[in-house]
Amino acid sequence: MEDRPPHEAELVARAKRGEGGAYEEIVRRHQNIAFRTAWVITGSAADAEEAAQDAFVKAYRALGRFREGEPLRPWLLTIVANEARNRVRAAGRRERLVLRVAEERRPGGAVPSPEAALLDFERRDELLALVADLPENDRQAIACRYFLDLSEEETAAALGCPRGTVKSRLSRALGRLRERMEATDA
């Protein structure tokens, strides 16, 4: 019989019982999204790394309060995002988030993904520039919901606001992007 990877609820239960290996597996499964979410908030890879690392330590200490049966990722992202925001507050400033299209995704680079072929590269740069020009809150909402592909619930957790606020920020941000794209096309 083929071994299946342990279900997340099983890992959480084992981690709550003090099994370090189970928590390590949880960290490995979520470290990428945790780090990227922290980076979107802080704009700094060094701060994001520190925030994500401290968040996983704090999450472990708070694991006893995690309600079994609920999805772990939004809970983790709440802690990660708060750690990231605390660093921004402590520093008194936020690094400007620099969003770039990866070089290997550009024409002439390595083999483009099928998705890349769907989005004209000039159009991508233009869209990215428009996102970068959005107000901070709107840009973070777009980055979490679409660039990180978080669910609405996870986006709300990452932004520290209710889902209704996420919806309204996204709606406003998308409206602005459409307007500006139309203006550019005209």
Number of residues that bind other proteins (CB under 8 A): 60
* DSSP structure string for 130-164: HHHTS-HHHHHHHIIIIIS---HHHHHHHHTS-HH
Closer to other proteins by Cβ: residue 2 or 61: 61
DSSP character at residue 165: H
Cα–Cα dist 146/115, whole Å: 14
Residues 15-44 that bind other proteins (CB under 8 A): 20, 23-24, 27-28, 31-32, 34-36, 39
Q: How far apart are the first and last CA of the chain?
A: 61
Encoded amino acid at 26, one letter? I
Closer to other proteins by Cβ: residue 70 or 136: 70
Q: Is 141 exposed, middle or buried (0-12, 13-18, 19+ CB in 10 A)?
A: buried
Q: Which residue among 71, 135, 160, 164 contacts other proteins (CB under 8 A)?
A: 160
Q: Which residue among 70, 96, 110, 123 contacts other proteins (CB under 8 A)?
A: 123
Closer to other proteins by Cβ: residue 10 or 89: 89
Task: Establish how many alpha carbons lie within 13 A of residue 43's alpha carbon, considering only the half-sphere containing its beta carbon.
Answer: 13
Residues 42-101 that bind other proteins (CB under 8 A): 45, 48-49, 52-53, 56-58, 60-62, 64-65, 78-79, 82, 85-86, 89-90, 99-101
Closer to other proteins by Cβ: residue 7 or 150: 150
- Identify which of 87, 25, 101, 91 has the alpha carbon closest to the alpha carbon of residue 52: 87
Number of Cβ within 10 Å of residue 35's Cβ equals 19
Binding site for other proteins (CB under 8 A): 20, 23-24, 27-28, 31-32, 34-36, 39, 45, 48-49, 52-53, 56-58, 60-62, 64-65, 78-79, 82, 85-86, 89-90, 99-103, 105, 113, 115-116, 118-119, 123-124, 127-128, 131, 142-143, 146-149, 160-162, 174, 177-178, 181
